[in-house]
Amino acid sequence: MSEPQSGIVDEEEAVSRLLEGAGARPEPPAEDLARIKEAFRVEWREHVRRPQRSARWNPRLLALAATVAAAVGAGWWLWSLAVTGTSGAGGAAPAARVESVAGEANGLMPGGTVPAGATVETAAGVAALRLAGGGSLRLDEGTRVVLVSPSEVRLDRGAVYLDSGAAPGAGSRAVEIRTRLGVVTEVGTQFEVRLLEEGEAVRVRVREGEVRIEGGAASASAVAGAELTVRAGGSVARGSIPVHGPAWSWTLKAAPPLEIEGRTLDQLLARVARETGWTVEYENEALAASVGSIRLHGDVGHLAPDQALDVVLPGAGLRHRVADGRLIVGADAGFRTPN
Amino acid sequence: MNDETEPDPRLKEKALVERMLAGDESAMEQLADDYFPGLYRFALARLGGDSELAREIVQTTVCRALPKLGSWRGEAALLTWLCACCQNEIRMWFRQKQRAPRTVELEEEGMDGFPAVGQPDEDLARKEEARLVHATLDLLPPHYARALEWKYVERLPVKEIAERLRLKIKAAESILTRARLAFRESYDRVSRGGGTVVAMSAMSRGLSEGRPDGRRKVTP
């Protein structure tokens, strides 16, 4: 021991006094602990078994099951979300990984991989895939896509949203969304492509960056805040769309869960801003300077990014409001600037 | 009997979690026995002593935390991490019910339901101190906390503590020394700086873990 003996005695006396004065910690009711433990045990067994039971989805089995379901007819609803292999998909390199699924999710498991060539369908649910090239591809309800490759997605039905990342284009290949009416190519962006009118029209809404649509019907490009609708006859209608608000709410529902453990608050706010289209503002400069030093712990379950703020910010002594696409963060009276 | 060398408590926690996730039932039992009581006390103090609700919320917390334990990086102590998850569950519960917690302002009350210091009543002050001590014990590695209680509350001789810990006497003495230091550090941290309000607030945000870079740690 390097400490002087008297220091040890003083320290021991102090600890002894505190502990003796406090007594033993109160034991929670044994029945409550037993019930918690039993529930945890059941969950744990399920968790431990899960990898052997479902492991990675098997495209062939899913295809077979989907076929059977279709044959039965009444069983179609079982496959509200499904991934099916296509010929030649077996053994193909993964084109994407399933990040999250909201809604009924038979057949599409978070953590599963989707090989190039596979068809992914949603019915009553929404899903988020992480493309092998890094982009986030969200699928709305009632959508069917074929992941031809990590950079090529064929949209057969419904709508997809692509977020190619905050710093797109750096060495990564632009993602193409192919439709019957043309190919939509991103130039580092966030956008939605939706088939309308029984597939007779395609609408592109751009939230960030720029996209180009080229095809037999028409060629056009759009930038952030613009919307293009291309019809089979070749007509192109242009309009504007706010980059935040209800038009994008399904993409929030489909967003992968927020991982906050170990992140700083400014990282979380940047992610929320990206998902919502909001811009972040602070009530004062000192607060703006301090958010990078506030480290977060825990998790926010499956709360959507905008909802997560209601849980996270009060814990940091902060509050927020949203006005006209601006997320305004302020400090409560008890907030202390980190050292 | 083990010798004096003891792995870093955080590494022990990581190993315990890894064993449990790999399917070791004894690890699952140990984790539940070591951490659930402290988590329950944490929840109970924040829920105004409503034991039924505390049970429900702790049960939800641990079941939801299980699949995420694989991503727990050990940066915060396991109980701190679980408390952070529990705190989120509590917030979400109140949010879903669309009402404020029954207790007084959480920031003032803090993790363990302590009223602010400065109450004239001595008895109340003693109770506050006791709860602070108990919360500090809960944040220590479980065998540190048990060793301290055996030594200073139950007044067991070191020989018996060594037997209970399945250690040699010298190793048990070493554990007690480290446990005292860890206790003092933790206790000082939550007690210092502007009185109990700040300390408890900090604790409720997972500040029980010091960071060499001085960065602030907050749990939602």
The pLDDT tens digits of the residues spanning A251-275 come to: 988 888 888 877 888 889 998 999 9
Closest residue in chain B to residue A319, using alpha carbons only: B220
ipTM value, please give it: 0.73
pLDDT of residue A8: 58
Q: In whole angstroms, what is the distance from residue A114 CA to residue A129 CA?
A: 9
Give chain A positions within 8 Å (CB) of B63: 39-40, 43
List, as ranges, residues 67-86 from B with C-beta within 8 Å of A.
67-68, 71-73, 75-76, 80-81, 84-85
pLDDT of residue A82: 55
Return the structure tokens found at A65: 């099951």
B115 touches chain A (CB under 8 A): no
Q: Is A323 helix (H, G, I), strand (E, B) or coil?
A: strand
Instruction: Note whether A175 and A189 are within 8 A (CB).
Output: no
Instruction: Note whether B46 and B90 are within 8 A (CB).
Output: yes
Residue A325, sorted as left (phi over 0), alpha (psi -120 to 50) or beta, turns out to be left
Closest residue in chain A to residue B22, using alpha carbons only: A48
The per-residue pLDDT for range B82-106, each reduced to its tens digit, is: 888 888 888 888 877 665 544 333 3
- Whole-angstrom CA distances from B52 to A28, A32, B44, B112 are 11, 8, 9, 17
Model confidence band, residue B31 (pLDDT cutoffs 50, 70, 90): very high
Q: What is the pTM of this model?
A: 0.50
Give chain B positions within 8 Å (CB) of A11: 180-181, 184
Helices B78-97, B9-21: axis angle to 10 degrees equals: 60
Shortest Cα distance from B60 to chain A (angstroms)?
Answer: 9
pLDDT of residue B152: 92
B177 touches chain A (CB under 8 A): yes
Return the structure tokens found at B73: 């990086």
> Where is mean pLDDT largest: A212-221, A225-234, A326-335?
A225-234
Q: Is A146 helix (H, G, I), strand (E, B) or coil?
A: strand
The whole-chain average pLDDT of chain A stands at 77
- Whole-angstrom CA distances from B14 to A40, A46, B141 are 19, 21, 12
A26 touches chain B (CB under 8 A): yes
